[in-house]
Amino acid sequence: MKKLVLSLLVFLVLALASVYIFIPANLVIVETAKINCVSDAAFRVLSVDSTWSKWWPGKINKTADGASSYQVNSTTFTVSKKLMNNFELLVHHNGNTASSHINLLNIPNDSTIIKWQYNVNCGNNPLQRIKVYRESVAVKKDMQTVLTAAQSFLSRFDNIYGFSLRQGSTTDTAIISTRAYSANYPSTAFIYSQVDKLKTFCNAGNCNITGIPMLNITPGDTAGYQVMVALPIENTQFGVSHEIRRQKMIPGQFIITDVMGGPYAIQQTHQQLLHYFRDYHRTSMAIPFEYLVTDRLHEPDTSKWITRIYSPVY
């Protein structure tokens, strides 16, 4: 009997010792995932709350103060702080709340490591430590679920910038162009009046048009917009007027993307292209221009417009 009692005491001591040895008072859980984009781009997307609904793998709820809470299984996360390439999230699980941090770390080859660290105090009570440890294992699985969803979403270029792109050149090297000033953002009628000016010049026997209109709209230094319209032509010699210039484009490299939509969609794409150039340290060699693939005079529905943007790149 004494041996049995002694054995039980030894077992209990060893069991308690193992709890203190293998479950520290401050438990640190770290989960990581690699994504195929740079950290600045990932942070820009994640810092906008509305984008989370596009990739979050669980439920999104509104808190009493109007903020969002993000749920996966029995774990709920709330974003408490946003810093550059860093987020602080509160982890709520079974009535307990602890802090966690997400860091976006750039690595070579234009990739990012998402490091998510979760810290929880397990206390001194051995039974409490076991309970907190089991709950932390559940939280860890939910963190893995979240990171897997984020990894899949953020590794797609079109999810980051809103469009796909390709790099290529252009066969249109000879063009005629004209410039005009518009006090307001140029209307379709204004743009095509400039196109007609070029067509009239060519129809008079000065040149042969070989492609669709090209457009660049640049805000003025103080107000208004400078509008340049061009047409690709055969590489022939001819005289020009004070309003019409003959130019030769260098068939260099361009970032090319197609936009479906009106002026707002086009302006947003130009803005995202600027983000892309900054994110990946690309250098623009000249002003971008647009091919008016859709004849806007004959298609009043701007949602059906197709515009091909060419951004010169080094």
Structure tokens at 221: 């230094």
Fill in the amino acid letter for 135.
E
8 Å CB contact between 313 and 280: no
Architecture field, domain 23-160:
2-Layer Sandwich (3.30)
pLDDT tens, per residue, the chain with 314 residues: 555 544 454 444 444 444 444 455 567 889 999 999 999 999 999 999 999 999 999 999 987 777 899 999 999 999 999 999 999 999 998 888 889 999 999 998 899 999 999 887 665 556 667 777 788 888 999 999 999 999 999 999 999 999 999 999 988 889 999 999 999 999 999 999 999 999 999 888 778 899 999 999 999 888 899 999 999 998 677 776 778 988 888 878 999 999 999 999 999 999 999 999 999 999 887 889 999 999 999 999 999 999 999 999 98
Please, which residues have CB within 8 angstroms of residue 158's CB and are 6 or more apart in sequence? 164
The listed CATH number (3.30.530.20, 3.40.50.300, 3.20.80.10, 3.90.1660.10) that belongs to domain 166-312:
3.20.80.10
| Domain ranges across the chain | 23-160, 166-312
The partner residues of 102 in beta bridges, in order of sequence, read 87, 116
In whole angstroms, give the CA distance from residue 94 to residue 151. Answer: 27
For the chain, what's the residue count? Answer: 314
84 sits in the region (left: phi over 0; alpha: psi -120 to 50; else beta) called beta
Q: Is the pTM of this model over 0.75?
A: yes
